[in-house]
Amino acid sequence: MVVSLLTDRQTLIKELLRIDDKQGHIVPFDFSNYKAQEYFHRNKSHRNIILKHRQGGITSSYLADMFMDCITIPHTQCAVVSHETRATQRLLDRVQFYYDTMLPPKPMIGAESRSEKTFPLMHSSIYVGTAGSRAFGRGDTIRKVLLSELSFYEDGRTILNGLEDAVPLTGELTIECTPNGEENVFHEEWIKAREGKSPYKPFFFPWWWTADYQIPLGSGYALPADIGELTFTDEEQDLVTRNSLTEAQIRWRRWKIAEKQGLFWQEYPENEVDCFITVGDPVFDSQVLTDFANNCYEGKRQPSGWLQWLPVDFKLRYVIGADTSSGAPEGSYSAFVVLNDRWEVCATFQGRVEPHAFAAILKEVGTLYNNAELAIERNFTGYAVLEQLKDYGNVSLQRDFTTGKLTTQRGWWTNDQTRSMMMSITRESLAKTKMWDVNLVRQLRSYRYMKIKTKYREQAQTFDDLAMAFMLAVTVRKVAGTARGFQGFVPSWNW
pLDDT of residue 34: 84
How confident is residue 23, by pLDDT bands cut at 50, 70 and 90? confident
Residue 39 has pLDDT above 60, yes or no: yes
Residues 149 and 254 in one domain: no
Average pLDDT over residues 264-285: 87
Answer yes or no: do 20 and 164 share one domain.
yes
172 φ, ψ to 5°? -130, 130
Residue 482 has pLDDT above 50, yes or no: no
493 inside domain: no
- Statement: residue 494 has pLDDT above 60: no
217: in domain: no
Cis peptide before 199 (omega within 30 of 0): no
Domain-terminating residue out of 205, 233, 251: 205
Residue range 140-152, pLDDT digits in tens: 789 999 999 999 8
Tell me, what's the pLDDT at 186? 95
Distance CA 101, CA 205 (A): 29
Check whether 112 has a pLDDT greater than 60.
yes
Instruction: Please state the rounded mean pLDDT for residues 343-370.
Output: 97
> 76: which DSSP letter?
-
Counting residues of the chain whose pLDDT is more than 70, the rounded percentage is 92
Same domain assignment for residues 256 and 373? no
Confidence of residue 490 (pLDDT cuts 50, 70, 90): very low
Check residue 386 and give its pLDDT: 96
Give 87-107 pLDDT, tens digit per residue: 888 888 899 999 999 988 889
> What residues make up the domain containing 130?
2-205
> Alpha-carbon distance 456 to 442, whole Å?
21
**218 domain residue, yes or no:** no
Contact predicate 285/432, CB 8 Å? no
Distance, in Å, from the CA atom of 90 to the CA atom of 60, rounded to the nearest integer, reads 10
81 in any annotated domain: yes
Give pLDDT tens digits for 122-142.
Answer: 999 999 888 877 776 666 789
Cα-only R_g, the chain: 26
The contacts of residue 339 (CB under 8 Å, 6+ apart) are: 318, 319, 320, 321, 345, 346, 433, 470, 473, 474, 477
For helices 35-43 and 58-72, angle between their N-to-C axes, nearest 10 degrees: 50
Q: Is residue 485 predicted with pLDDT exceeding 60? A: no
According to DSSP, the residues that pair with 66 across neighbouring strands are none
pLDDT at 4 over 70: no
pLDDT of residue 398: 87
- Where is average pLDDT lowest: 109-113, 333-337, 347-351? 109-113
Q: Count Cβ atoms within 10 A of the Cβ of residue 234 and give its class: 0-12 exposed, 13-18 middle, 19 or more buried.
A: exposed
219 in a structural domain: no
| pLDDT at position 114 over 90 | no
Asked if residue 435 is part of any domain, the answer here is yes
Residues 312 and 172 in one domain: no
Mean pLDDT of 345-352: 96
- Pair 49, 193: CB distance under 8 Å: yes
Residue 491: pLDDT band by 50, 70, 90 thresholds? very low
**438 in the same domain as 367:** yes
Percent of the chain having pLDDT more than 90?
Answer: 65
- Which CATH number do you get for residue 399? 3.30.420.240
402 and 465 in a single domain? The answer is yes
288 and 256 within one domain: no
Tell whether the model's pLDDT for residue 464 goes beyond 70. yes
Is there a single domain that holds both residue 335 and residue 294?
Answer: yes
Specify whether the CB–CB gap between 449 and 414 falls below 8 A.
no
Return the CATH number at 136: 3.40.50.300
Which contiguous run of DSSP H or E holds residue 127?
Answer: strand 124-130
d(CA 205, CA 54): 10
Task: Say if residue 261 is in the same domain as residue 367.
Answer: no
Handedness of CA 359, 362, 368, 373 (dihedral sign): negative
> Which range, 272-276, 363-367, 403-407, 416-420, has the best average confidence (pLDDT)?
363-367
Look at phi and psi of residue 57 and say left if phi exceeds 0, alpha if psi is from -120 to 50, else beta.
Answer: left
Taken in order 294, 181, 467, 440, the sign of the CA dihedral is negative
Query: What does the mean pLDDT of the chain come to?
Result: 89
**What average pLDDT score do residues 243-248 get?**
96
Q: Tell me, yes or no, whether 26 and 149 share the same domain.
A: yes
pLDDT digits (tens, 9 = 90+) for 42-82: 999 999 999 999 888 889 999 999 999 999 999 999 999 99
My answer on whether 191 and 261 are in the same domain is no
* Residue 419 burial by Cβ neighbours in a 10 Å radius (0-12, 13-18, 19+): middle
- Which residues, other chains included, contact 385 with Cβ-Cβ below 8 Å and sequence gap of 6+? 322, 324, 355, 358, 359, 362, 376
Helix (H, G, I), strand (E, B) or coil at 116: strand
DSSP letter (8 states) at residue 391: T
pTM: 0.80
Contact 83, 95 (CB under 8 A): no
pLDDT of 455:
65
Residues 370, 393: one domain? yes
* Residue 492 resides in a domain: no
**What is the model's pLDDT at position 489?**
39
Cα-flanking dihedrals φ and ψ of residue 299, to 5°? -75, 170
pLDDT number for residue 404: 67
**What's the mean pLDDT in 388-398?**
94
Handedness of CA 64, 65, 71, 74 (dihedral sign): negative
Domain count, the chain: 3
Q: Evaluate whether residue 210 is within a structural domain.
A: no
Confidence of residue 25 (pLDDT cuts 50, 70, 90): confident
